[in-house]
Amino acid sequence: MDKKRVYTFGNGQAEGKAGMKNLLGGKGANLAEMNLIGIPVPPGFTITTDVCTEYNELGREKVVQLLQKEVITAIESVEFLMKSKFGDVETPLLVSVRSGARASMPGMMDTILNLGLNDEVVEGLIRKTGNARFAWDSYRRFVQMYGDVVLGMKPTNKDDIDPFEAIIEEVKHAKGVKLDNELKVEDLKELVQKFKKTVKVKTGKDFPTNAYEQLWGAICAVFNSWTNERAILYRKMEGIPYEWGTAVNVQAMVFGNMGDSSATGVCFSRDAGTGEDLFNGEYLINAQGEDVVAGIRTPQQITKIGSQRWAELAGVSEEERVAKFPSMEEIMPEIYQELDELQTKLENHYKDMQDMEFTVQEGKLWFLQTRNGKRTGAAMVKIAMDLFRQGVIDEKTALMRVEPNKLDELLHPIFDKEALTQAKVLTRGLPASPGAATGQIVFFADDASEWAAAKKAVIMVRIETSPEDLAGMAVAEGILTARGGMTSHAAVVARGMGKCCVSGAGALRIDYKARTVEIDGVLLKEGDYISLNGSTGEVYLGEVETKEAELSDDFAELMKLADKYTRLQVRTNADTPHDAMVARNFGAVGIGLCRTEHMFFEGEKIKAMREMILAENIEERRIALAKILPYQQEDFKGIFKAMEGLPVTVRLLDPPLHEFVPHDLKGQEEMAEAMGVSLKYIQERVESLCEHNPMLGHRGCRLGNTYPEITEMQTRAILGAALALKKEGVVTHPEIMVPLTGILREYKEQDNVIRAEAAKLFAEVGDSIDFTVGTMIEIPRAALTADRIASAAEFFSFGTNDLTQMTFGYSRDDVASFLPIYLEKKILEVDPFQVLDQKGVGQLIQMATEKGRAIRPELKCGICGEHGGEPSSVKFCHRVGLNYVSCSPFRVPIARLSAAQAALED
């Protein structure tokens, strides 16, 4: 038998099911599943994602031929269930043609509604329904969508307006009406005629009247849309492979635009912004499909409580609310109840928060889509923990449900309360996606990208957003729209990105041409500062100060759960007591990397450091080092104290010395005077420190081996600090780390210096402290000879930044010149400086760990590069049996959760 390309669903039966997302796409698989569990869904069929691949390989003609028989048979079964006929004048079947990839790509692919209409069918539809307004409204929508999507009439340039929208505006203006739904039957008829004329002028062809011709056009357009620009951009952002393809869903139409007992809406089983366990959503009476999402009319709330909350934010009185903006719960109570029951049923079935689309046709409820809803990081944590407590999922599932990277959002700053009281509120919109954002106003995605590239913080201000704006939204600090509700494109996408968003701020008067926005009499230009509170919907004038986030109890509980399963420990990279405290509060159990170079920069210290470097001989160097010692000791005391009772790995001086000396004339003159030498001498010394390739030059333990007195001083400062704290009753666990080891011998030399100095110090003070000495493994040779190095070193810390640099031979400082091209061409899948290269660099880590432990079984191994906070890299570290990862303070929770997930995945 030939392979099956079409899967039907309808009337409680389906050939597919939820588990078939790869083949049927998310939408198609769930439409099938909903049928199977007794949710009312209009019948239809799904053309598989495989066919999309065939389409891209074989082309349109061949694929239409391959599909012909199956599609016609499937249409016939829909006709049977709907008691109507596709293309028939008296009992016409109309269908929608919808895309649906494996992963949800909201708004990425275009949907066509009301397909099957023409000049005769529309008359038949009127005779059948007795509703001329509905029939013509459906027809004009169809011609417009088909023209835009299938016939390619949608403008690609942001400054051009949609030809159909232009006609609508023109007709509305001529009739003196403001809203689309104020147009009369005659006006709608006129629109259709004008639309078709435009189609003829722009494409040179008549609008297709044959239903099957329309259908094939639409199916192929969905396949084409897989390769349109915005789909490509979305895939890139979300890491969705091109090969997956999209399915096509063809489904009998149900109509939300049949009058006042009809409606359409979008709803969520829980709050996607906060995670609150509260059914919510928006609907529009007498409207169709995209109207709610597109923000053409601002929709109303489905639940009474949602409606009341909205009214409070919008400053609408209860009286006015009931009269003008009633909830669905209040005006369609029976339908509401059914909707509420079915949303609960769906959530229980899928065991996760659902994002659903529905339509009410003359008092009958239909579901058109369900999927696991996108949500903010905060909502992700709350929903996972609530579902766990409610017994819907177990604790392991709860842990696996939270995307580690999403925790990042929770840790972001919020507005400082004090600063807020001083700030001027310009207006309020809907709290569409929580968070705090401050930035400069831009109106277009291109500008957002440009400004952001120039390191400016921008807020994107739009009447409403559409998928064309994605690139701009991705780089903006926040998004503010004049129209659209909580389920508008802006709101949904912003929540998915974890971006602050205020939508539907009706007071905004945006003038795209002038690049200005007027808010209640205040005129703001592009580049002016505003601030948004996505949790309350408030819009502030100017910049508002932010402060650190407050973490929820759910977050704490999630972290506790994580610790229950984790084997891999999480430490932090911290150079100051403040950073150490932040990380400790996030659950770090030590410092894996404390860099010491910053300790040489402030005030007097840099002078002493420069004296040391520029000194003519060892005696002078010692004098300068003696000046630095007390400062360093104080710095270490602060850090050790912040990390009381926990291990702290201190790395000895690592960067090339030229980074410390003055390269400007003024600084050089200063040093000459301070040291009582000639300017020429200073300049020569500075010159002599310059290297062709400093990354591979005089740095790391090469410094300590050429100037052992530096190592001596640092050892004394570290252990001196620990001894001083011991007197105060503070327990410390110093670990001294030698950087950039490549040869056993060079490590041993340093080890000797450290231990000798320690012995000397202990004898002087008459007290001692336990400490260990180990090394960074960041040169491939060190990894290759790890067994030899482990004979002397007590611990390994993989410096994956340098190890990546030296394994690939990519200079980290110069990689920007070719890395983007490599990523573009897929020569590299990801940036190896962000995501650990498991095949190459990872192999060195694994091998060095094994070799090291063969000699010294108790060898402690960890990593301390940027990768220590990247989920896939953390999971790798777990698998190869490292003891810990060390990452920047704000990545600690992410690493902890990743470590737990790695343990669960075992």
Q: Is 799 marked as binding a ligand?
A: yes
799 binds, among ligand ADP, Mg ion, none (CB under 5 to 8 A by kind): Mg ion
Exactly one of 489, 658, 867, 878 is catalytic; name it. Answer: 489
Sign of CA dihedral 429, 434, 435, 441: negative
| Residue range at the interface with ligand ADP (CB under 6 A); choices 45-53, 106-114, 423-431, 717-725 | 106-114
CB of 369 to ligand ADP, least distance (A): 5
Q: What is the 3-state secondary structure (H, E, C) of 11-74?
A: CCEECCCHHHHHHHHHHHHHHHHHHHCCCCCCCEEEECHHHHHHHHHHCHHHHHHHHHHHHHHH
CB-CB contact of 66 with 274 (8 Å): no
Helices and strands (H and E) in the chain: how many? 37, 34
Q: What is the 3-state secondary structure (H, E, C) of 119-171?
A: HHHHHHHHHHHCCHHHHHHHHHHHHHHHHHHHCCCCCCCCCCCCHHHHHHHHH
Question: CA-CA-CA-CA torsion for 153, 154, 160, 166, nearest 10 degrees?
Answer: 80
198, 369, 503, 569: which one binds Mg ion (CB under 5 A) = 369
14, 222, 253, 393: which one binds ligand ADP (CB under 6 A) = 253
Q: Is 878 a catalytic residue?
A: no
Binding residues for Mg ion, how many (CB under 5 A)?
A: 4
The candidate with the shortest Cα–Cα distance to 24, out of 86, 81, 98, 118, is 98
Q: Is 162 marked as binding a ligand?
A: no
222, 296, 368, 835: which one binds ligand ADP (CB under 6 A) = 368
369, 481, 711, 849: which one binds ligand ADP (CB under 6 A) = 369
Q: Decide: is 488 part of the binding site for ligand ADP (CB under 6 A).
A: no
CA 188 to CA 168: how far, in whole Å?
Answer: 9
Give backbone dihedrals phi and psi of 7, rounded to 5 degrees, phi first: -120, 125
16, 439, 534, 799: which one binds Mg ion (CB under 5 A) = 799
Nearer Cβ to ligand ADP, position 291 or 538? 291
Which positions ≥6 away from 232 have C-beta within 8 Å?
Answer: none
Q: Decide: is 196 part of the binding site for ligand ADP (CB under 6 A).
A: no
802 binds, among ligand ADP, Mg ion, none (CB under 5 to 8 A by kind): Mg ion
Which positions ≥6 away from 837 have C-beta within 8 Å?
Answer: 804, 807, 808
CB of 222 to ligand ADP, least distance (A): 9
253 binds, among ligand ADP, Mg ion, none (CB under 5 to 8 A by kind): ligand ADP
Nearer Cβ to ligand ADP, position 234 or 660? 234
Q: Decide: is 254 part of the binding site for ligand ADP (CB under 6 A).
A: yes
| Residue range at the interface with ligand ADP (CB under 6 A); choices 104-112, 520-528, 626-634, 818-826 | 104-112
Q: Is 598 a catalytic residue?
A: no
CA 628 to CA 828: how far, in whole Å?
Answer: 45
| Residue range at the interface with ligand ADP (CB under 6 A); choices 146-154, 199-207, 246-254, 816-824 | 246-254
Nearer Cβ to ligand ADP, position 198 or 359? 359
- Point out the residue whose Cβ comes nearest to ligand ADP: 289
Beta bridge mates, 115: 95
Q: Decide: is 359 part of the binding site for ligand ADP (CB under 6 A).
A: yes
CB-CB contact of 534 with 431 (8 Å): yes
On the 0-12 / 13-18 / 19+ scale of CB atoms within 10 A, 400 is: middle
Binding pattern for the stretch 740-779 against Mg ion, x by CB under 5 A and - elsewhere: --------------------------------------x-
Nearer Cβ to ligand ADP, position 149 or 311? 149
282, 290, 709, 837: which one binds ligand ADP (CB under 6 A) = 290
The count of residues in the chain is: 906
| 42-61 binders of ligand ADP (CB under 6 A) | 42
Q: Is 651 marked as binding a ligand?
A: yes
Nearer Cβ to ligand ADP, position 150 or 689? 150
Give the distance, in angstroms, between the CA of residue 233 and the centroid of all CA atoms in the same chain.
14
368 binds, among Mg ion, ligand ADP, none (CB under 5 to 8 A by kind): ligand ADP
CA 27 to CA 18: how far, in whole Å?
Answer: 9
Q: Decide: is 354 part of the binding site for ligand ADP (CB under 6 A).
A: no
Give backbone dihedrals phi and psi of 93, rounded to 5 degrees, phi first: -95, 125
Exactly one of 864, 867, 878, 887 is catalytic; name it. Answer: 864
CA 539 to CA 513: how far, in whole Å?
Answer: 22
Q: Decide: is 802 part of the binding site for Mg ion (CB under 5 A).
A: yes
The candidate with the shortest Cα–Cα distance to 632, out of 671, 581, 595, is 595
Nearer Cβ to ligand ADP, position 43 or 306? 43
CB-CB contact of 133 with 260 (8 Å): no
Q: Decide: is 25 part of the binding site for ligand ADP (CB under 6 A).
A: no
CB neighbours (10 Å) of residue 297? Answer: 17
Binding residues for substrate: 595, 651, 778, 799-802
**Active-site residue set:** 489, 864
Q: Binding site residues for Mg(2+), as ranges?
A: 778, 802
Interface residue list for Mg ion (CB under 5 A): 369, 778, 799, 802
Residues that bind ligand ADP (CB under 6 A): 42, 96, 98, 106-107, 111, 113, 251-254, 289-290, 357, 359, 368-369
